[in-house]
Structure 1
Amino acid sequence: MSFLENPLYVLGILCLMVVLSMYAARTALGKKLGAALLVILFTAVIANIGIIPSASDSIPLYDAIFTYVAPISIFYLLLGVNLRSIRTAGAPMIVLFLIGSLATTLGFLISWVIVSPQDILGDDGRVLAGMLTGTYTGGSVNFNAVALEYDFQEKGILYAGTIAVDNVVTTIWIIISLAIPTVLRKFWTDKKIGAPRKSPVTDNNGAMNLQSLSWLIFLGIGAFVVTEWFTDLFPAIPSIITLSTLGILLAQTPFVSRLKGAHALGLYLVFLFLAVIGAYCELSSVFALKEIGITLIVFTSLGVLIHGILVITLGSLVYRDWEMIAIVSQANIGGGTTAIALAETFNRNELIVPAIMVGTLGNAVGTYLGFLVVYLL
């Protein structure tokens, strides 16, 4: 194992990127970008110049962060949520998410007509379009469900190239999503749907003491273990649903609501997850595919761009809440965890639970929409 693949070294660098993004977010320019975006950008830069491993030479640490850190971060964030304050946000989020899912499907159908990827990719283009529709509705589970049905994973270079393009476009869309409210408010004012006058997160952000830290670590690991056990018994129920339910139920108990620092700890783990997202933004893998890579990036980027235009246009006719629209779009394109990061950046904590909810809904419908696109093409 080379020094660059040493998990402690890489973890240290990821933690350093989180620290730097926090300080950079205090500057005049950094305040406009936000720490969530900065940690992605910082890590993407150092991964692309070879300071830490990128997607093509991924290490087990990255998989561990995706598998364990991301879901536990959601659990910690939910420990401070008061359910009574998010009732009015749930229905609008679901409506906007369904609009976003429709926008994704139409986006790739329109992109197919404009780009004609089948001229370069042949019949693989249909399957690829379905995979991208699935992943930009619900996530990588849907991406792989379509791929496995057509044995697409056996097309080594093309499959790897598609994943690389997916990582790059997802990262770019996170950046765009963060900018959507600021840009659109220059032209149209909006109204925050369901935003409470007081924070929907209970006051557990005081100085963390050793007792609170001990309980939080135990609760996070314990909830994850219980979730895995429950998923083994009932595999049809998504694990994130079980973990989220445990977090919400525990948040309503007086003992857990008095623990200090759950929100800060959860947000820190989200930033670690975003740092790995940045590391996976590997431009060299896209350029290495030459003409195929260019076709993939243009086809995918145009499909996501059309999604964005449609979800903003149609969403504004129903609920003109630019932050909610951006969060829902990110739930489509990047998944529930990145949507939560946006909610945190926008200080819309009442949207954390709805973001998880629509992310799970995307997992449920993404595969069907992916197969629909393959069928239509």
Structure 2
Amino acid sequence: MDSLIKPEDTWLLWAFLVGWAALSIFLEQKYKWAAKISGAVIALIGALILANINIIPTAAPAYDAVWSYVVPLAIPLLLFQANLKKIWNESGRLLLLFLISSVGTVIGVYLAFIALKDTIPFLDKIGAMMTGSYIGGSINFAALSVKFHTPGEMVSAAVVADNLMMAVYFFVLMAIPAIPFFRKKFQTPHIDEVERNEAAGETQASSYWKPKSVSLKDIAFAFGSAFAIVAVSFKLAEIFASIIPSGDDASVFMNILAGIFGDKYLMLTTITIIVVTTFSRFFEKLQGTQEFGTFLIYIFFVVIGVPASIPELIRNAPLLLVFVFIIVLINMLITFGFGKLLKFNLEDMILASNANIGGPTTAAAMAIAKGWTRLIVPIMLVGTLGYIIGNYIGSMMGYLFESML
């Protein structure tokens, strides 16, 4: 059945994609009910409904442009604050706990895949995406979904299950400090400090989030740098892919080498990190890069809702919810288990697990909401590391799962 808006109506489709992404962000920040659902799910569901009632087409050149250009541009923009030296020097022991929590994600994904690989289609691809997402964030989810060519309806189902699970898990993490068992069994210096300050009326946590001053130069340098990095990275990956033998006739080593150096998203991540770490002063001065990158990712969330079939969502999302539940449960057990063993504070464990499952932004938001002001910058830095390693580990898990099917 033909849609009201035709695939060739490029400007109308771009108006919808960008407009609905903007509205999703507005609703998420304005209303509590929308924040609980998350802007990502609002963006997806809006596109899903309009596609299923034939208002917008299920395939169009505008959507292809988002996959080909918008997602690659979002990656360096979100990585511009990922200075490896700064992460290592300023984050202390929290970095160790974050990496332990990442191991929990990998183990959880592996066990969930073993348990459900015969019941959920394309689980090798989804497993790769969720590994990247539950170590880094939506940037890794987006990059790996493109890399492994995951069908749109499965991406949409995974987003629904993922966001529902995250919403439940964040509620659990927010509630943990109020549970007597955890207060008795774990050290809670930041919670104790907040309680003392609140008693004295001195808490300043709510004043942390303020609008940034973004200049025209910031916008020019941010997008100019992003375009240049994407262009160089993709060209290098193309060159390596053409000169490194791969396929059935090549050795396992050469196939792995081709998979690493010939992969444009891994190359993009690597080049970005090298450039950002080398020219850290330049990128640290750029304002608004996180906001620019996040907005582009929201456009991606709109697009992945377009090809979603509602019957497919009903059939696949419940099973995928079980899949992500196993991942989150194992992550939590390993994070809190080793955190207790290594004598970490309860706040460190909560934020490390949050930074894995939700990303640095949600972890920082939780630290701010709780008033743990001294942990805001460290968890942002540590969580940013997840953006860096998420694509690598997600890719490795994807190749492993592919070989197991």
What is the one-letter code of the residue matched to 2:19? L
Q: How does 1:174-323 map onto structure 2 within 5 Å?
A: 174-188=163-177, 206-235=212-241, 236-237=260-261, 238-246=266-274, 248-249=276-277, 252-254=280-282, 256-286=283-313, 294=315, 299-319=319-339, 321-323=349-351
Unaligned runs of 5+ in 1: 118-124, 148-158, 194-198, 288-293, 331-338
* Pairwise CA distance, 1:168: 0.6
SS in 1 for 2:131: coil
**What does residue 388 of structure 2 align with?**
357
SS in 1 for 2:175: coil
- Looking at structure 2, the residues matched to 267 and 304 of structure 1 have their Cα atoms a distance apart, in angstroms, of 23
Deviation by residue 1:64-116 (Cα, 9 ceiling, x = unmatched): 3233222322312333455455323543333222221211221233346xxx7
**What does residue 290 of structure 1 align with?**
none
**What does residue 291 of structure 1 align with?**
none
Q: 1:283 to 1:81 in 2, by over 3 A?
A: same
Out of 102, 111, 117, the position equivalent to 2:107 is 102
- Looking at structure 2, the residues matched to 316 and 276 of structure 1 have their Cα atoms a distance apart, in angstroms, of 36
* Pairwise CA distance, 1:370: 0.8
The yes-or-no answer on 1:23 pairing with 2:26 is yes
TM-score of the aligned structures, taking structure 2 as reference length: 0.65
Deviation by residue 1:123-181 (Cα, 9 ceiling, x = unmatched): xx8x855555445435699889999xxxxxxxxxxx96xx6244313332123214422
Q: Is the 8 A contact 1:171 1:277 kept in 2?
A: no
Q: Is the 8 A contact 1:76 1:266 kept in 2?
A: yes
**What does residue 172 of structure 1 align with?**
161
- Looking at structure 2, the residues matched to 78 and 137 of structure 1 have their Cα atoms a distance apart, in angstroms, of 18
- Looking at structure 2, the residues matched to 214 and 268 of structure 1 have their Cα atoms a distance apart, in angstroms, of 17
Deviation by residue 1:224-263 (Cα, 9 ceiling, x = unmatched): 1111122234453322323432552365134x44344333
Q: How does 1:320-335 map onto structure 2 within 5 Å?
A: 321-329=349-357
Out of 8, 11, 22, the position equivalent to 1:8 is 11
Q: 1:165 to 1:301 in 2, by over 3 A?
A: farther
Q: Which has the higher mean CA deviation after the structures are superposed, 240-249 or 309-318?
A: 240-249
Runs of 4+ in 1 over 6 A off after TM superposition: 139-147, 190-193
Give the number of the structure whose alpha-carbon radius of gyration is greater: 2
- Looking at structure 2, the residues matched to 325 and 232 of structure 1 have their Cα atoms a distance apart, in angstroms, of 36
What is the one-letter code of the residue matched to 2:303? V
* Pairwise CA distance, 1:219: 1.5
Q: Is the 8 A contact 2:361 2:380 kept in 1?
A: no
The yes-or-no answer on 1:52 pairing with 2:56 is yes
What is the one-letter code of the residue matched to 2:222? L
Q: 1:244 to 1:343 in 2, by over 3 A?
A: farther
* Pairwise CA distance, 1:351: 4.0
What is the one-letter code of the residue matched to 1:176? M
What is the one-letter code of the residue matched to 1:367? G
The yes-or-no answer on 1:137 pairing with 2:168 is no
- Looking at structure 1, the residues matched to 234 and 154 of structure 2 have their Cα atoms a distance apart, in angstroms, of 31
What is the one-letter code of the residue matched to 2:103? L
- Looking at structure 1, the residues matched to 278 and 338 of structure 2 have their Cα atoms a distance apart, in angstroms, of 34
Deviation by residue 1:250-305 (Cα, 9 ceiling, x = unmatched): 65134x44344333222221222222234354323456xxxxxx4x5554443332
Q: 1:63 to 1:144 in 2, by over 3 A?
A: closer
- Looking at structure 2, the residues matched to 345 and 271 of structure 1 have their Cα atoms a distance apart, in angstroms, of 18
* Pairwise CA distance, 1:21: 2.3
Unaligned runs of 5+ in 2: 133-140, 183-187, 191-204, 242-259, 340-345, 369-378
Q: Is the 8 A contact 1:78 1:353 kept in 2?
A: yes
Deviation by residue 1:295-328 (Cα, 9 ceiling, x = unmatched): x555444333222222223332234634432442
- Looking at structure 2, the residues matched to 41 and 340 of structure 1 have their Cα atoms a distance apart, in angstroms, of 24
What is the one-letter code of the residue matched to 1:357? I
What is the one-letter code of the residue matched to 2:291? A
Q: Is the 8 A contact 1:212 1:261 kept in 2?
A: yes
- Looking at structure 2, the residues matched to 17 and 250 of structure 1 have their Cα atoms a distance apart, in angstroms, of 37
What is the one-letter code of the residue matched to 2:391? T
What is the one-letter code of the residue matched to 1:77? L
Q: Is the 8 A contact 1:129 1:373 kept in 2?
A: no
What is the one-letter code of the residue matched to 1:79? F
TM-score of the aligned structures, taking structure 1 as reference length: 0.69
- Looking at structure 2, the residues matched to 184 and 213 of structure 1 have their Cα atoms a distance apart, in angstroms, of 36
What is the one-letter code of the residue matched to 2:73? I
Q: 1:324 to 1:7 in 2, by over 3 A?
A: farther
